[in-house]
Amino acid sequence: MKILVTGGAGYIGSHTVRLLLERGHEVWVYDNLSTGHRAAVPAEILLTGELSELHRLDHVLMEKRIAAVVHFAASTYVGESMTDPARYYRNNLVNTLNLMECLRRQGIGRFVFSSTATTFGTPERVPITEDEPQRPINPYGNTKLAVERALADYARAYGWGYAALRYFNAAGASPSGDIGEDHDPETHLIPLVIWAAMGRRPHIEIFGTDYPTPDGTCIRDYIHVDDLASAHILALERLEPGKGLCYNLGIGRGYSVREVIKAVEAVTGKPVPVKEGPRRPGDPASLVASCDKIQRELGWKPKHADLKSIVETAWNWHREHPKGFKK
């Protein structure tokens, strides 16, 4: 299939592009390289451009005879979305609706969308199933949910086949060792703990030790980026006109911040200096996915079903690329 991947030079995008290519799809990456990395994708499939350049998008969709779009391009920092919501409504909502309009003009109705566990806000029940009410508590979650709703309406009215994949905590790196996580600024727990183990930062600060969890720190469901990637491919190959495939994507098991620190110490063999700090505003105590639905309906199964194996791949990447991708 001829596929356009927006944001394909980013962390989850680049791992998905690699898998799509391995599956024999014809892939084009559309990325403005604001957070993505040129070195993360083969040069010959990279098209640099803004999502706001609609004429260019129309041209690309037509010229490359695109049949489906996998849409990663987005702003993804919860904290930044609180202080600069306009950026999130523009990048994540307006730009996505414009992209969807281009698709409609070109008669393309296949769309795989990067959504997030953040659309659930503070869930009533953990593990979180797809029936849990979606009530985001920040602008980032609001913009992602708004697109999910628009897609459901497009499926009903225009017969689109779409998937909305709600990621829990993406982590790890390709076992090949040549692509991995490289954010600026880095805010995610696993890379920051690894940096503390490497001495690249003085310590890791634990954001809150008084949560109602067994060790007082927040619990998250860390999913390997290649397992996220494989879910995109399964979903893409199962899209049906008029139907939405909405799945929560985690491994169905949560780990506390302290457990992550222990796993990094075990994998790297280095001690991690820790500082206990206050809670970070907006962090729910526990977010764990129920991944039963995608297992049942698409036969998806995570290859990395435990934290250690995820951390090993992340450590491999950071050890080999202490400064991330070559700029």
Question: Which residues of this protein are in contact with ligand UFG, per CB under 6 A?
Answer: 76, 78, 116-118, 168-169, 187-189, 192, 204-207, 218, 220, 257, 280, 283, 287
Which is catalytic among the residues 30, 140, 211, 255?
A: 140
Decide whether 13 or 109 has the Cβ nearer to ligand UFG. Answer: 13
Q: Note whether 278 and 207 are within 8 A (CB).
A: yes
Closer to ligand UFG by CB, 66 or 117: give it. Answer: 117
Q: What is the Cα–Cα distance from 156 to 285, expressed in whole angstroms?
A: 36
Neighbours of 321 (CB within 10 A): 18
The smaller minimum CB distance to ligand UFG, of residues 61 and 76, is found at 76
Element (H, E) at 222: strand 222-224
The smaller minimum CB distance to ligand UFG, of residues 66 and 310, is found at: 310
* Closest residue to ligand UFG, based on beta-carbon distance: 218
* Rounded CA separation 232/211 (Å): 33
Distance CA 316, CA 239 (A): 35
Burial classification of residue 153, based on how many CB atoms lie within 10 Å of its CB (0-12 exposed, 13-18 middle, 19 or more buried): exposed
DSSP summary character for residue 92: I
8 Å CB contact between 307 and 260 = yes
- What is the rounded CA–CA span in Å between residue 304 and residue 16? 16
> What span, in angstroms and rounded, lies between the C-alpha atoms of 179 and 45?
16
How far apart are alpha carbons 122 and 134 in whole angstroms? Answer: 9
The tokens of 191 are what? 């890379």
Q: Which is nearer to ligand UFG, 209 or 295 (CB)?
A: 209
| Crossing angle for the helix pair 95-105 and 54-63, to the nearest 10 degrees | 40
Q: Quote the tokens at residue 116.
A: 């997030």
269 CB burial (10 A radius; 0-12, 13-18, 19+): exposed
Q: How far is the CB of 218 from ligand UFG (least distance, A)?
A: 3
Least distance (Å) between residue 57 CB and ligand UFG: 25
In single-letter form, the type of residue at position 290 comes to: S
Nearer to ligand UFG, 115 or 316 (CB): 115
We find the least distance from the C-beta atom of residue 230 to ligand UFG, in angstroms, to be 19
Residue 247 designated active-site? no
User: Six-digit token pair at 45?
Assistant: 């499939």
Minimum distance from CB of 206 to ligand UFG (Å)? 5
The residues that are catalytic are 140
